[in-house]
Amino acid sequence: MELVYNAYLHLKPQSLILKIVSTKQFWWRFNHLKRNGGEITVTDRTPEMDVKDFNRISLLVNKRVRWELGSEGFAEWDSCGVKDIPTLAKAYGIK
């Protein structure tokens, strides 16, 4: 199951915004900034789609792709990186 990370770090004085994609990246960046005297503001931005709904839709899309491609094809497709789950859900008619 894929977890959805949706945290952003606002860094001052540069006003740089970084999108955090993993727990490891968040803590590495947080500790790095803390050591170097950075001012940190953590905000949570919920996507349009609730995380619970996104995970449900993601599981349904994965089930459909596995059914179409078979186990070996799904393993190859799954290892190719990030998928556009909302677009695939629209294509498959999953709501």
pLDDT above 90 (res 24): no
For residues 74-91, one letter each, b for 16 or more C-beta atoms within 10 angstroms of the residue's C-beta and e for the rest, the string is: beeeeeeeeeebbebbee
Which residues neighbour 15 within 8 Å (Cβ) at sequence distance 6 or greater? none
Q: How many domains does the chain have?
A: 2
Verify that 55 and 86 share a domain, yes or no.
yes
Q: Does residue 65 lie within any of the structural domains?
A: yes
Taking 90 as the threshold, does the pLDDT of residue 70 lie above it?
Answer: yes
How confident is the model at residue 3, as a pLDDT?
44
In a domain, 16, yes or no: yes
Domain assignment present for 57: yes
Is the pLDDT reported for residue 66 higher than 90?
yes
Task: Name the residue range of residue 69's domain.
Answer: 51-92
pTM of the predicted model over 0.75:
no
Residue 1 belongs to a domain: no
Q: Do 55 and 38 share a structural domain? A: no
Q: Is residue 2 part of a domain?
A: no
Residues 38 and 56 in one domain: no
Tracing tokens 């596995």 back to the chain, one arrives at 66
CA distance 4 to 21: 8
